């Protein structure tokens, strides 16, 4: 199975690079499953139904979210009728939406996608380890599904690494999101789980985390109220992780960083060329 995960879409540049590149990549790489984090897709804060439909229409199978899940208030409503939009599973009981979903690939394989959010240096929710344990136990790899991807939306690298170690050998992929900076530690853990601390973002890298530089810099210097954060408007770069999964075991056999765009050194999976 060929799985592609793309990091946080940040505003219009992120949406544009996904819209322009994903349909071609899906065809050229013969992808079975594409998962994208979309929590910053609407002006950097949340996601709208129109944007959700646009990203799914471009070739995403599932969109995951994070701490900005409900910045656009309409998400409280439309997330209930969109089974392929997944918010963190460790939101309190009664929160609209779902924390996991299962999709069927064109080949007939079943992929479980789970979204959880960390608790260090970010809005604390319920225990993400207990949440993911419950979901994976109810839909175990190899019997109820053929692959499992977990998007760990968290600030602390240690918390993301702990989730990777906790799930190693029981899921296909653990990939971190939220910090918008791609890390260089893509690997297969000892138990066979593909791991990356942060997938980076799909957005303009001539920025501060996808935002125009002036206001973030001013906030660090002056520490006084000022203007709004605005999405940077330059050309977007696509960032994420490519994973080849063994159809027999559901575990990873190859991983590669994906960076396609004008500002970062480009990288693509040689094993799919």
> Region 142-148: what's the mean pLDDT?
95
pTM: 0.96
211-217's contacts with Cβ under 8 Å and 24+ in sequence apart are 211/10, 211/44
Which residues are paired to 9 by β-bridges?
A: 202
Residue 124 banded pLDDT, cuts 50, 70, 90 = confident
Which residue numbers are catalytic?
Answer: 68
Task: Report residue 162 CA to chain centroid gap.
Answer: 18
Domain that holds residue 92: 2-272
Containing H/E element for 172?
none
**Residue 185 belongs to a domain with what CATH number?**
3.60.21.10
Q: Of 43-52, 165-174, 176-185, 221-230, where does mean pLDDT reach its minimum?
A: 221-230
The span from the CA of 228 to the CA of 52, in Å, is: 24
Domain total of the chain: 1
Residue 50 banded pLDDT, cuts 50, 70, 90 = very high
Side-chain half-sphere CA neighbours of 54 within 13 A: 17
Residue 227 banded pLDDT, cuts 50, 70, 90 = confident
CB-CB contact of 63 with 86 (8 Å) = yes
Tell me the pLDDT tens digit for each residue of 194-203.
Answer: 999 999 999 9
Which residues are paired to 89 by β-bridges?
A: none
């Amino acid at each position: 199975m060929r799985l592609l995960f793309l990091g946080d879409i940040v505003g219009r540049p992120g949406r544009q690079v996904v819209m322009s590149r994903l349909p071609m990549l899906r065809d050229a790489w013969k992808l079975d499953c594409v998962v994208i984090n979309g929590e910053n897709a609407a002006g950097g804060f949340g996601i709208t139904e129109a944007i959700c439909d646009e990203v799914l229409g471009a070739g995403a199978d599932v969109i995951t979210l994070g701490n900005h899940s409900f910045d656009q208030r309409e998400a409280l409503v439309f997330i209930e009728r969109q089974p392929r939009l997944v918010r963190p599973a460790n939101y309190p009981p009664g929160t609209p939406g779902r924390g996991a979903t299962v999709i069927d690939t064109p080949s007939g394989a079943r992929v479980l996608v789970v979204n959880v959010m960390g608790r260090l240096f970010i809005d604390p929710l319920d225990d993400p380890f207990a949440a993911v344990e419950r979901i994976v136990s109810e839909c175990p790899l190899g019997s109820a599904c053929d692959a499992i991807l977990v998007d760990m939306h968290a600030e602390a690298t240690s918390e993301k690494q702990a989730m990777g170690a906790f799930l190693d050998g029981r899921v296909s992929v653990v990939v971190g999101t939220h910090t918008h900076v791609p890390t260089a530690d893509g690997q297969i853990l000892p138990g066979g789980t593909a791991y990356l601390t942060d997938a980076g973002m799909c957005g303009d890298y001539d920025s501060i985390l996808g935002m125009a530089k002036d206001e973030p810099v001013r906030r660090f210097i002056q520490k006084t109220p000022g203007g709004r954060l605005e999405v940077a408007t330059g050309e977007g770069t696509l960032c994420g992780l490519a994973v080849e999964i063994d159809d027999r075991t559901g575990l990873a056999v190859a991983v590669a960083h994906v960076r396609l765009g004008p500002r970062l050194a480009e990288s693509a999976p040689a094993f799919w060329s």
